Chain A
Amino acid sequence: MFEYEAIRPRYETSPEVEAIVEAVSVCYQCGTCSGSCPVAPAGGMDYTPRTIMRMIQAGMEDEVLASTTVWTCAACYSCAVRCPRDIDITDVMIRLRNLALIRGTPARTGLARKGRIYNRDFMDIVRRFGRIYELELVLRYHLKTNPLNLVGMAPVGLKMFLKHKLRLLPEQAEGRKEIQGIFYRLEDEKK
């Protein structure tokens, strides 16, 4: 095994981006990630994972952060476990999501915007209750995106209700205060 110097970004950027660029610098564009990805061929991404890797190397920060791909990645780790360069591509995608929100990069597509809303609401509920409350998540998401969808959701909701698969009231963790403390401390750290 030979030692190599990771490609460094040739421009001024933040330490978070630098860490991502360094992780991706060893990518040699074999395309195993795109070939393994179940979402890309189903039409769920605007750039394939391989393209995203190349865009990162090329320093196309804003384009990457605005992309749909970072939000529609299903985090199934198919690419990460097969990457011959051992890049944790799933982890890179999730870091990019985090970065897109910190930077406030506007979403390029409606899908990327919806992905952000869904992820945000999810964590908002976990912060409040210490556990997830599915009913609120679904209602909030659809009210924010397209309330008319709720009409279409009604039969599914009824089906779930009849099979006792719908939790009507939230289940709360006793240690909510402690959990909220974790959120606050981590958010402070980010500032």
Chain B
Amino acid sequence: MKYAYFPGCSQGSTAQEYNRSLLAVAKRLEIMELVEIPDWNCCGATPAAAIVHPTLPHSLAARNLSIAREMGMDSVVAPCAACYKNLRKASIDLRQNEELRTQLRGTLSNRSLSQVPTVRHPLDVVVNDVGLDNIPVTKPLQGMKVACYYGCLLTRPAGGFDDIEYPTTMDRLMEALGAEAVDFPYKTKCCGGGIYMFHEKVSFSMSADVLAHAKAAGANVVAVGCPFCQLLLDLYQDKLGQVRDTTFNLPIIFFSQLMGLAMGLDRAELGLERLIVSPFRLLAETIDAPEGSLEKPAKPRASKLKKWGEA
């Protein structure tokens, strides 16, 4: 299936490894073809509505959605949680609200807003469109105890691809890749990424809580699907450790990089060397460890849980 790809600003700077690994994974999966939206613009993140006009985020998103439609695409894939939330909200509102459509057509000087594409997160596409059985796992992530951290905007506001309080999509993906997904109660807590520029102390205390709980859950790696969560937990991990008087030493890896590892992709393609907390020691001790040197893997937990939406 073809999807219009909306990389978002972070994919070109702080989260280049997310972009690269995701594209490499999609290429290998074949059935998930990502075509970049030409000349996309920033989604406006959180400041847009506050600073200029309450409908600015919708307008900025509508331009991207309209270009995707011109490409003939029915769905847009946005890997950044903030972009995903803004585009998804705009797509839903535009489809439901005739008045908003007319209003935005004026703001966008008559761009077509009929048949707006739906907006998806790559996690959703991988698990629900591609399917866990269709991921060619050649190098299972044995020994990895993954805390799946969704952060706030992957599942909120409600109506997305998984439960708002206890999503399991990423957990199931990790188990399919051969890792153990630990029971992580802080999986949808906010990392404070949106306010860390001007309120470092509070956002660090929020992020430190997330890492402390991941550690307490027995994780040796944290999987993420949002560039802000990754940046805050990874780049500032030494400072987060100081908040809690400890050293976390937890690699924060994008789920797409973990997929690439399990699928045996060329590691140079995955950008693992760009992570601040180096994952290489973990890799040597887990998936690269000689056979038989690891303890027996735990039984799958998340895959046994009821899937979201099932009665």
Q: Which A residues are within 8 Å of any B CB, using their own CB?
A: 38-39, 42-44, 71-72, 74-78, 80-81, 88, 90, 94-95, 97-98, 101, 111, 114-115, 117-120, 122-123, 126, 130-132, 134, 137-138, 141, 145, 156, 159-160, 163-167, 171, 173-175, 178-179, 181-183, 185-187, 189-190
Contact = CB atoms under 8 A, between A and B. Distances in A.
B51 A182 contact: no
Contacts of A187: 52-53
Contacts of A190: 52-53
12 contacts: A38-B206, A39-B190, A72-B195, A111-B198, A119-B47, A119-B50, A123-B48, A126-B42, A130-B42, A145-B198, A159-B235, A173-B41
A81 B158 contact: yes
A115 B235 contact: no
B157 A186 contact: no
A44 B52 CA distance: 24
A90 B54 CA distance: 12
A119 B273 CA distance: 32
Nearest to A185: B107
B50 A74 contact: no
Contacts of B198: 71, 111, 114-115, 117-118, 141, 145
B53 A42 contact: no
B12 interface: yes
A164 B109 CA distance: 38
A65 B276 CA distance: 39
B274 A182 contact: no
A179 B196 CA distance: 27
A39 B56 contact: no
B110 to A, nearest CB: 11
A149 to B, nearest CB: 9
Nearest to B208: A42
Given A94-B54, A185-B106, A39 B42 contact: no
B50 A98 contact: yes
Contacts of B153: 76-77
Contacts of A75: 46, 152, 194
A76 B39 CA distance: 28
Interface in B198-217: 198-199, 201-203, 205-206, 209
B114 interface: no
Contact of B42 (A77, A131, A186): A131
B56 A186 contact: yes
A39 B195 contact: yes
Contacts of A130: 41-42
A126 B198 CA distance: 19
B151 to A, nearest CB: 8
B53 A98 contact: yes
Contacts of B130: none
Given A72-B202, A186-B55, A164 B50 contact: no
Q: Is the interface of B mostly helix, strand, loop or mixed?
A: loop
Query: Which of A81, A114, A115, A117 has its CB near the most chain B CB atoms (within 10 A)?
Result: A81
A156 B235 contact: yes
A61 B41 CA distance: 35
Contacts of B206: 38-39, 42, 74
Nearest to A115: B198
B219 interface: no
A102 to B, nearest CB: 10
Given A43-B202, A72-B202, A123-B47, A38 B63 contact: no
Nearest to B48: A123
Contacts of A76: 152-153, 156, 190, 194
B195 A74 contact: yes
Contacts of A97: 49-51
A85 to B, nearest CB: 15
Nearest to A129: B42
A134 B46 contact: no
Contacts of A179: 41, 60, 63
A175 B63 contact: yes
Given A166-B13, A182-B60, A189 B190 contact: no
B189 interface: yes
A124 to B, nearest CB: 8
Given A122-B47, A171-B12, A178-B63, 18 more contacts: A43-B201, A71-B198, A74-B206, A77-B153, A78-B156, A98-B50, A101-B50, A119-B47, A123-B48, A130-B41, A130-B42, A131-B42, A132-B9, A167-B12, A174-B39, A182-B56, A185-B109, A186-B59
